[in-house]
Amino acid sequence: MIEGGCNCGGIRYTIASEPVVVAQCHCRNCQRQSGSAFSVNLMVAADNVVTTGELTTYVDHDTKSGNPVYRRFCGTCGSPIFSELSESNGMVIVKAGTLDEPGKFAPSVGVWTSTQWPWVPVPEGMPVFSENP
Domains and CATH numbers, the chain: 2-115 (2.170.150.70)
Look at phi and psi of residue 47 and say left if phi exceeds 0, alpha if psi is from -120 to 50, else beta: alpha
Give me Rg for the CA atoms of the chain: 14
pLDDT > 70? residue 88? no
Per-residue pLDDT at 13 exceeds 90: yes
Average pLDDT over residues 71-100: 92
Cβ-based neighbours of 73, under 8 Å, separated by 6 or more: 6, 55, 56, 57, 58, 79, 80, 81
